[in-house]
């Protein structure tokens, strides 16, 4: 981890709310923001894991940490989170829209309800949460929004078709808000990691999605995000990933789609 930035609490004017906080990149965001002395609101479905993390962070960093156990994929999930935050009397200065999941395999073999639920969690939830928490930031004249998108959002993603489409939505939403809110005192960032070991691979039933040299750790991803926050609209963690991302701009979309499909296609023995 890099040296903590003690101005985060003052810079954003309130606590940080992190969705998908119980594991993976979300949990790593919680540790990094706690090091920067930000109070936290942890949101995910698994209350037990959230409580354990909250106790650890509060004790170690002497900050306030609240837990909201809520499924954001439900139609009223985001509104229930906002209601809980209001009842806790917490001002949110930084919203980390991180919760999400993916599926992997032939599109025709995917369960339509699970795909639709992915759109609700990956797209609808961050959209609604941003609508709910952004007005207060605008009134205050300071705040921050981080959207966990993906390198998958930059190009077509065969065998990850719905997931890639949801991450393109998150990427475009974040970059649009970055431009729209520029000069308002509100920082906006689209975080676009490549392959990073998290529960995503287990849930999506993925064993490999590209060369190991492009792999980044959760800590590298989060540190890249916080270093870029307030300086640029988008960050792709990892030198190799930056090169790979730039390379897609020089090929036709048809060729890029074919190459993306080559790396993402399930191999015999690689996925069940």
DSSP labels, 170-237: HHHHHHHHHHHTTTTTEEEEEE---S--SHHHHHHT-S--S-GGG---HHHHHHHHHHHTTT-SEE--
Task: Outline where DSSP puts E strands in 86-167.
Answer: 92-97, 143-148
- Of residues 35, 46, 39, the one with CA closest to residue 99: 46
Task: Point out the residues that are catalytic.
Answer: 163
61 strand-pairing partners: none
Tokens at residue 5, please? 């930035």
Tokens at residue 269, please? 């023995």
Say how far apart CA 227 and CA 155 lie, in whole Å.
25
Give 258's contacts (C-beta < 8 A, 6+ positions apart): none
């Amino acid at each position: 981890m890099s040296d903590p930035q003690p101005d985060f609490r003052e810079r954003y004017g309130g606590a940080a709310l992190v969705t998908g906080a119980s594991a993976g990149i979300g949990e790593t965001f919680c540790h990094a923001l706690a090091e920067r002395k930000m109070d936290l609101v942890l949101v995910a479905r698994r209350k037990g894991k959230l409580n354990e993390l909250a106790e650890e962070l509060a004790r170690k960093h002497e900050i306030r940490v609240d837990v909201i156990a809520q499924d954001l994929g439900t139609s009223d999930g985001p509104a229930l989170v906002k209601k809980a935050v209001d009842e806790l009397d917490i001002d949110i200065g930084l919203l980390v829209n991180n919760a999400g999941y993916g599926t992997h395999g032939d599109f025709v073999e995917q369960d339509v309800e699970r795909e639709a639920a992915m759109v609700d969690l990956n797209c609808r939830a961050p959209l609604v949460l941003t609508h709910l928490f952004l007005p207060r930031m605008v009134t205050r004249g300071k705040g921050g929004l981080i959207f966990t998108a993906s390198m998958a959002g930059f190009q077509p993603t065969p065998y990850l078709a719905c997931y890639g489409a949801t991450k393109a939505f998150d990427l475009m939403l974040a970059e649009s808000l970055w431009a729209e809110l520029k000069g308002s005192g509100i920082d906006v960032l689209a975080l676009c990691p490549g392959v990073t070991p998290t529960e995503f691979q287990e849930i999506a039933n993925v064993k490999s999605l590209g060369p190991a040299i492009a792999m980044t750790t959760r800590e590298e991803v989060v540190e890249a995000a916080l270093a870029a926050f307030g300086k640029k609209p988008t960050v792709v963690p990892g030198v190799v990933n930056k090169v790979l991302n730039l390379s897609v701009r020089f090929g036709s979309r048809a060729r890029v789609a074919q190459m993306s499909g080559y790396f993402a296609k399930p191999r015999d023995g690689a996925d069940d």
